[in-house]
Amino acid sequence: MTRLWRAGIGLVGALALTTGSAAAAPAPDVTVCPALVVITTVYTGQTFTLDADDQCPPPPAGASVEWEVSSGGGTVVISGASSPTLTVTAGAPGDYSYIPVFITSSGAETGQADPVTVDAVPTVADQLVLPAQSATFTLTGDVIGSVQWQESTDGGMTWSDDTTDSGVTTSTLTVAGVTGSQNGEEFRAAITDGYGTVDTAPATLSVEQPPLAVTQQPMNVSLGCVGATATFTAAASGTPAPTVQWQVSTDGGTTFANDTTDAGAQTDTLTVTVSTAITGNEYRAEFSNSSGSVVSNAATLTVSPPPIVTTQPASEAVDSGGTASFTSAVDLAGCAPSAAVQWEVQTPGSGSFTPIAGATSDTLTIPAVTTADSGNEYEAVFTIGPVTVTTSPATLTVINTPVVTRVTPSRGGPFSIVFIQGTNMSGATAVSFGANHRALFLQLSSSLIVALAPFEPKGTVDVTVTSTNGTSSTSAADQFTYLF
């Protein structure tokens, strides 16, 4: 009787046995392979090597190799992997199968798959404890290999093996009786296996303490500049670092509510835009962490009345060719040591004021005005720190008052015919020789009038012309001399 069987999972050949007097058959070529497949387990980032020559049964003689990898997403050919030796850096966690494919002249033969399990590096959680308590750091995840806990006291710049705490070579490290000086220390585990050493991400030890004290109190602020900003600053110490919330009281400190409108209400410095409506408000900072809270002293904001214009520019009526002058002044109200001033003009119909170049003093002077200037409005804009104050506008009216430039003849007697030359004499209503004697006249044009000299005693008098715009000023050019 002859029996045949396979040995192991990689049997190539058979073994024949006989009983009784039967002659023994020649022994077959038998290869016995391991019954179990070894699974390679590594951490993400570690490097491992597979060798196709380690296949059982051995690969065909003279065969070339290409590698494939199979995971949950299917099987793909590994580009460039054409050597019997495959070196891989482990990537995302998961189960993978690396398969050598042997290529000969007779075709391709798939070899035995090498299973690889990639595990994520274990993690360690931060710990927050009170002084004198114990902090426990525990590895979460698969731990493969030996463990050595390490510690850093310089923010992770340098690391050294922990040789003093409990469980330094186990999955759980216990730091007993922590003190405030240990706040911020970091701990990690170095895990060593057959593929090297991986370090977990560091975990931080925080020693919780209530705010010990307010280290900087806010100060009272007094300002006279509406629109300026007042700042209040406070600080406190504590672990973990406390948060801050500014509070405001509008009833003299009887009640406080969280400030939700001003800038920096949740920082150490609060910035408040000043207005007279908030004078007397009190501000304080509340510092909090998980173990308690503390409030600073209250600081008071005092706001003085804003700067005001004390001298408004007055409107003026000026003869054509004359000089106009406008003056203004402002009370600084303590906002600044001085004010910057800029005069502006609005011409009739323009609808807006524009700055006048060089007009930066309290008094604006406009020489040699013309009728084109009539109706212009002028205002002064004062800048005092962050505050701008504008005067009321003043109007310039240019008057075309008659001007007598020549009298011909310049001498004669009563009832002499006199020609009067000048400007702006349209609409003349009277011509006078001296203070009290009006003459008969005939207006020939805006620049020429003929008059009959009235009776006047011997002597020199001024000849004046009156219109709706006023009476001409006297000068040597308007004089007429009575000879008898």
With bands split at pLDDT 50, 70 and 90, how would you rate the model's confidence at 18? very low
Q: Which tokens in the block code for residue 200? A: 């977990």
Closest residue by Cα to residue 16 from 31, 29, 26: 26
C-alpha span between 294 and 41 (Å, rounded): 53
Confidence at residue 30, expressed as pLDDT on a 0 to 100 scale = 53
Mean pLDDT over 341-350 rounds to: 96
Residues contacting residue 85 through CB under 8 Å, at least 6 positions apart: 49, 50, 51, 52
Check residues 332 and 42 and name the one with the higher pLDDT. 42
**Does 2.60.40.10 match the CATH number of domain 40-119?**
yes
The mean pLDDT of the chain is: 88
C-alpha span between 268 and 284 (Å, rounded): 11
Confidence at residue 292, expressed as pLDDT on a 0 to 100 scale = 84
pLDDT at residue 283 greater than cutoff 60: yes
- Count of alpha carbons within 13 Å of 231, Cβ hemisphere only? 6
CATH of 308-399, one of 1.10.10.10, 3.30.70.260, 2.60.40.10, 3.40.50.300: 2.60.40.10
According to CATH, what is the number of the domain 127-207? 2.60.40.10
Residue 93 contacts residue 41 (beta carbons within 8 Å): no
Going from the C-alpha of 26 to that of each of 15, 29, 32, the distances in angstroms are 9, 10, 18
In 10 A of CB 203, how many CB atoms? 19
Stretch(es) of the chain classified as CATH 2.60.40.10:
40-119, 127-207, 219-301, 308-399, 403-482
Residue 406 contacts residue 421 (beta carbons within 8 Å): yes
Confidence at residue 62, expressed as pLDDT on a 0 to 100 scale = 86
Mean pLDDT over 77-82 rounds to: 92
Residue pLDDT, tens place only, 200-245? 999 999 988 766 789 999 999 987 676 778 999 999 988 778 999 9
Look at the block and give the residue holding tokens 């959680």: 125
For the chain, the 3-state helix, strand and coil shares in percent, each to the nearest 5, are 5, 50, 50
Q: Which residues pair with 104 in a beta bridge?
A: 107
Residue pLDDT, tens place only, 192-209? 999 999 999 999 999 887
Closest residue by Cα to residue 393 from 345, 428, 337, 437: 345
Residue pLDDT, tens place only, 440-484? 999 999 999 999 999 989 999 999 999 988 899 999 999 999 998
With bands split at pLDDT 50, 70 and 90, how would you rate the model's confidence at 180? confident
With bands split at pLDDT 50, 70 and 90, how would you rate the model's confidence at 7? very low
Residue 292 contacts residue 281 (beta carbons within 8 Å): no
Q: Which CATH architecture has domain 403-482?
A: Sandwich (2.60)
Mean pLDDT over 257-281 rounds to: 92
Which range scores top for mean pLDDT: 26-30, 171-175, 338-342?
171-175
Confidence at residue 270, expressed as pLDDT on a 0 to 100 scale = 96
pLDDT at residue 126 greater than cutoff 90: yes
Q: Tell the CATH topology of 219-301.
A: Immunoglobulin-like (2.60.40)
